[in-house]
Structure 1
């Protein structure tokens, strides 16, 4: 049996179908590779965005570390940090966009690199600031120690001077070399007569000499007397006060003497505002805030 012959029209149809099928295959291949490229580009862009976000977070952490140091930043450093944080917020907002071009990614990458450089320089300044603070603290502590030592030395010198002045004052104080008390009455003629009985006594006369003292100041010295009766009562007016041996005291009588560091004898007469009684009267003398000495007399 002879094979059927394909006419020319059928052959043309077959050629046309082959061409259509080939075109469809080519179109599908193009669309497949195009989708694949877009998918790969999306993955690449998304990965780069995540990488940039991580870099921004690292920069922000570095700035937070600076704040955690609680350093006293100067105005320049504070302003620089504010500008950096504004830029960080801008980058965060840009990277949160759903769609971002490669140009925008490149710009963000450039800005992040600039921020990295800024943070490095910023940290270098902070480290230097810490060093300066440590140096200033050490200098301040050293100065305080020096001042404390100087103050202690000054205080010690002041105490030594005070002690020395006290010793000089004590050494320069007037002291009794000898003292004698007699009781007397005055006759109508004006003559003084020594007595020993309390019933006839009118006044006490204290005669004393001062120990020679080259350190004692020459000139006038105020001498205070405190007179105690046999019962131990101070015989003094309420308004008579002076200070001696660090205490406020009442005195019975006071006079001025002219001290010349010689053997002069000084006399103080004291009139008792009350009648004398039997017993021992005690007289204590003071000069320049110090006790000079005391003497006693007994009246029968």
Structure 2
């Protein structure tokens, strides 16, 4: 009887120990699985944060690419990009926090998806703007080419007109057909007497007519006379200047003639301020900036 009592007590202890061990094993198992689950949650959260950071960086890079294009963005596009960059900085700051709840992660992911949609639409606008700029550039280049061509044609036309005008001007210039020079003196009665000696000469009289020219302008023309003595000296007043053949010149005498292309004769009388000397005197006539012709007389 005593032996049966001992065995029953021992059996109770064994059952109790088994129960304790099972309980401990269960507790340890629960704690193990809980820790493992917590670890998996931490790893998952960390991985999700890294993925979100990468997405944010991609979005930021897309905006940087747009800026690298150096496009002339309108006010609305600039404002939209500004707001997007503010949101990116907010998300980056949020993702830098040590711990984030799943709700915070979900909220960040939703905002990033919104940003992705925005960037896609934004890029579509940029592509459209690039196409528009390219089209405008082509039109501008075409317009510049057209303007350049027109300017070249205008320049060529102006040059041709200038050449034609110069040709017409030369062709329309008055030229002497015939010119004669006589020396004379005036008697007390007022009568003019032709002379051949230098000692008795008082004036030179130049008589000339003009070659018929239908291109020449009819009407009054200024005619300038230049007289050179036998030594080749120009006999002219220093204050008398005109321009002909592209040069500034001095003249001895000037007068107007009324040209009507009718073979009229014109006469210019010129008085020397000094006594005439022996030798050949040369006269040259000019009008409208061109030489008309010349003639000579010899005084003995």
How does the TM-score come out when normalised to structure 1? Answer: 0.95
Q: How many angstroms apart in 2 are the aligned matches of 1:118 and 1:164? A: 67
The alpha carbon displacement at 1:229 in A equals: 1.1
How many residues align structurally? 299
- The secondary structure found in structure 2 opposite 1:216 is coil
Q: How many angstroms apart in 1 are the aligned matches of 2:298 and 2:284? A: 15
Which residue is equivalent to 1:45? 45
Q: How many angstroms apart in 1 are the aligned matches of 2:28 and 2:218? A: 132
Which residue is equivalent to 1:156? 156
**1:133 and 2:152 matched:** no
- CA-based RMSD of the aligned residues comes to 1.6
- The secondary structure found in structure 1 opposite 2:6 is coil
Which residue is equivalent to 1:214? 214
Which residue is equivalent to 1:59? 59
- Residues 208-287 of structure 1 correspond to what in structure 2 (within 5 A)? 208-287=208-287
User: Deviation per CA, 1:97-150, whole angstroms, max 9, x where unpaired?
Assistant: 111011111111111111111111111211221111111111111111111111
- The secondary structure found in structure 2 opposite 1:198 is coil
Which residue is equivalent to 1:82? 82
The alpha carbon displacement at 1:50 in A equals: 0.8
User: Deviation per CA, 1:204-251, whole angstroms, max 9, x where unpaired?
Assistant: 000001111112222211111011111111111111111212222111
- Structure 1 alignment gaps of length 5 or more: none
The alpha carbon displacement at 1:17 in A equals: 3.0
Q: How many angstroms apart in 2 are the aligned matches of 1:264 and 1:92? A: 103
The alpha carbon displacement at 1:10 in A equals: 5.0
The alpha carbon displacement at 1:8 in A equals: 5.3
- The secondary structure found in structure 2 opposite 1:6 is helix
Which residue is equivalent to 1:118? 118
- Structure 2 alignment gaps of length 5 or more: none
Q: How many angstroms apart in 2 are the aligned matches of 1:264 and 1:13? A: 164
Q: How many angstroms apart in 2 are the aligned matches of 1:55 and 1:263? A: 100
Q: How many angstroms apart in 1 are the aligned matches of 2:123 and 2:268? A: 89
The alpha carbon displacement at 1:62 in A equals: 1.1
Q: How many angstroms apart in 1 are the aligned matches of 2:136 and 2:39? A: 60
The alpha carbon displacement at 1:81 in A equals: 1.0
